[in-house]
């Protein structure tokens, strides 16, 4: 029994109060990015990788229709949304399953495939939701070291045991912004036993401009043990509506369908997601903006003498010097006081770095100027 669970028991020797499942009290709850700066009039939130362009203008028409019929349950199969996604990506809608954000899907995969004693693997600086969901399913989280802030295929394969049931890989990863080329992901898959699910979390796939990158669609199509998850929270600008989807083999879709809530995706999300995925012009605008500013921000911040991990996403990881007074904690306070909210990433193993989302031109330039002052 874990220490926390034991405490719960000793605190209630007569079992006069409920206690949660084994493992639950060992979970460190997810801490979202800050969103406000006390006393600052104008705030630029660059802490949650949201798009500065907002959602497609087509979304509001879609939502107006939904608003006049809020008494009606949504389509439990999210058919219109799955069809729109399938059409745009050239997929079979039967292999798509939607969720209340891709976070829900990550949790459902754990609930469906993990139980006590099983192991779930993720990497050193990987997205924290994996660990939380593995533990919530009562299973054992196994964290694997990275090399150069990038997932290490050999290290992951070396960590696989007979208890391993699931391997999570964010590609590209948040908060590092690094990625594994398609060839490396294929080598990872080829080294896994056939009963181990490889979950490719491609939340930032739309942003990647690299010839050697694949989001995972190809790998899912040819195999029985690969799942790709995607989200509408990032480039589509719909984080507030909570929409994610996964592309998976029929047997996995079938299993997760039995576990999920019957109406897990709400009516607004279905309508908005379908409209957003079809508006390719909006995505092109978001991509162009991100590409321009990802390069500018990286170069400008490196020009200030800071180290920036090369990113293929819509954010950069900025490393601060060990100089007293010039570290990430003080930089965070300095920027916050001026309305620029970045993300502390101590929980991801980076006590002396901040993650900055690529924001509007004004916000990006503001951070660059403020950092220049800060470092002076
Ligand atoms: C933002 C993000 C998600 C998306 O989560 P949603 O629940 O769809 O909003 C998933 N994975 C990673 C790595 C992310 O950074």
CA angle 156, 157, 163 (to 5 degrees): 95
Convert the pLDDT of each residue in 211-223 to its tens digit. Answer: 999 999 999 999 9
What 3-state class would DSSP assign to 147? strand
Nearest residue (CA) to ligand 1, atom 14: 203
Backbone φ and ψ for 344, nearest 5 degrees, come out as: -70, 140
**Taking residues 11-33, what's their average pLDDT?**
84
**pLDDT at residue 24, rounded to an integer:** 93
Classified as helix, coil or strand, 69 is coil
Domain that holds residue 337: 33-53+281-375
Can you tell me the mean pLDDT for 14-25? Answer: 87
Q: How far apart are CA 52 and CA 44, in angstroms?
A: 10
Report the predicted TM-score, pTM, of the whole model to 2 decimal places.
0.94
Last residue of a domain, one of 278, 308, 343: 278
Measured distance CA(19)–CA(11) in Å, rounded: 10
Best residue among 46, 99, 103, 172 to mutate for probing ligand 1's pocket (most ligand atoms within 8 Å of CB) is: 103
Asked if 49 and 161 sit in the same domain, the reply is no
- 290 versus 32: the higher-pLDDT residue is 290
Is residue 325 predicted with pLDDT exceeding 80?
A: yes
* Higher pLDDT pick, 337 / 10: 337
Query: Same structural domain for residues 267 and 170?
Result: yes
| pLDDT of 207 over the 80 cut | yes
Question: What does the pLDDT look like over 101-129, one tens digit per residue?
Answer: 999 999 999 999 999 999 999 999 999 99
CATH label of the domain that carries residue 40: 3.90.1150.10
Q: Which residues pair with 230 in a beta bridge?
A: 245
| DSSP letters spanning 219-252 | HHHT-SSEEEEEESSSTT--GGG--EEEE--HHH
Q: Could you tell me if 323 and 232 lie in one domain? A: no
Choice between 10 and 72, residue whose per-residue pLDDT is larger: 72
Q: 159: CA distance to ligand 1 center in Å?
A: 25
Q: 238, 254, 278: which is the final residue of a domain?
A: 278
Phi-psi region of 138 (alpha: psi -120 to 50; beta: other; left: phi over 0): left
Q: Whole-angstrom Cα distance, residue 80 to residue 267?
A: 10
- My answer on whether 196 and 254 are in the same domain is yes
Last residue of a domain, one of 256, 278, 300: 278
The three-point CA angle 137-189-158 to 5° equals: 75
The proportion of the chain whose per-residue pLDDT surpasses 70, expressed as a percent, equals: 97
Asked if the model's pLDDT at residue 284 lies above 90, the reply is yes
Asked if the structure places residue 177 within a domain, the reply is yes
What pLDDT score does 3 carry? Answer: 64
| pLDDT grade for 10, boundaries at 50, 70 and 90 | low
C-alpha 201 to ligand 1 mean position (Å):
8
Within-domain flag for 26: no
Residue 16 pLDDT grade (very low, low, confident, very high; cuts 50, 70, 90): confident
Give distance in angstroms: CA of 243 to centre of ligand 1: 10
CA distances from 269 to 62, 242, 272, 274, 337 (A): 10, 7, 5, 8, 35
Classified as helix, coil or strand, 50 is: coil
| Number of domain units in the chain | 2
- Pair 313, 263 in one domain: no
CATH number, domain containing residue 210: 3.40.640.10
Average pLDDT over residues 93-101: 98
Residue 127: CB within 6 Å of ligand 1? yes
Q: Is 201 in the pocket of ligand 1 (CB under 6 A)?
A: yes
- What's the rounded Cα separation, in Å, for the pair 101 and 166? 20
């Amino acid at each position: 029994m874990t220490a926390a669970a034991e405490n719960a028991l000793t605190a209630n020797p007569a079992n006069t109060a409920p206690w949660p499942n084994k493992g639950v009290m060992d979970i460190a709850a997810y801490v979202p990015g800050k969103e406000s700066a006390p006393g600052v009039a104008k705030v630029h939130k660059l802490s949650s990788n949201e798009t500065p362009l907002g959602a497609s203008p087509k979304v509001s028409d879609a939502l107006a229709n939904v608003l006049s019929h809020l008494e009606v349950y949504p389509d439990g199969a999210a058919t219109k949304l799955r069809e729109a996604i399938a059409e745009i990506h050239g997929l079979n809608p039967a292999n798509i399953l939607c969720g209340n954000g891709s976070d829900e899907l990550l949790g459902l995969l754990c609930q469906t495939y993990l139980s006590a004693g099983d192991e779930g693997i993720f990497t050193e600086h990987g997205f924290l939701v994996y660990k939380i969901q593995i533990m919530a399913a009562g299973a054992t989280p196994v964290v694997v070291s990275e090399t150069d802030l990038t997932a290490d295929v050999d290290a992951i394969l070396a960590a696989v045991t007979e208890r391993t049931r699931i391997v999570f890989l964010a590609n590209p990863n948040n908060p590092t912004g690094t990625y594994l080329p398609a060839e490396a992901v294929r080598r990872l898959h080829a080294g896994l036993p056939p009963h181990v699910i490889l979950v490719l979390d491609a939340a930032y796939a739309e942003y990647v401009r690299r010839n050697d990158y694949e989001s995972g669609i190809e790998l899912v199509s040819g195999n029985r043990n690969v799942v790709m998850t995607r989200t509408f929270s990032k480039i589509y600008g719909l984080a507030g509506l909570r929409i994610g989807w996964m592309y998976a083999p029929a047997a996995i879709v079938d299993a997760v369908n039995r576990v999920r809530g019957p109406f897990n995706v709400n009516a607004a999300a279905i309508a908005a997601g379908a409209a957003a995925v079809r508006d390719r012009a909006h995505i092109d605008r978001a991509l162009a903006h991100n590409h321009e500013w990802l390069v500018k921000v990286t170069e400008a911040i490196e020009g200030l003498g800071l180290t920036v991990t090369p990113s293929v996403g819509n954010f950069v990881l900025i490393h601060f010097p060990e100089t007293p007074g010039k570290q990430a904690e003080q930089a965070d306070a300095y920027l916050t006081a001026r309305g620029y909210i970045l993300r502390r990433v101590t929980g991801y193993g980076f006590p002396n770095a901040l993650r900055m989302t690529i924001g509007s031109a004004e916000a990006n330039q503001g951070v660059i100027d403020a950092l220049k002052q800060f470092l002076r």
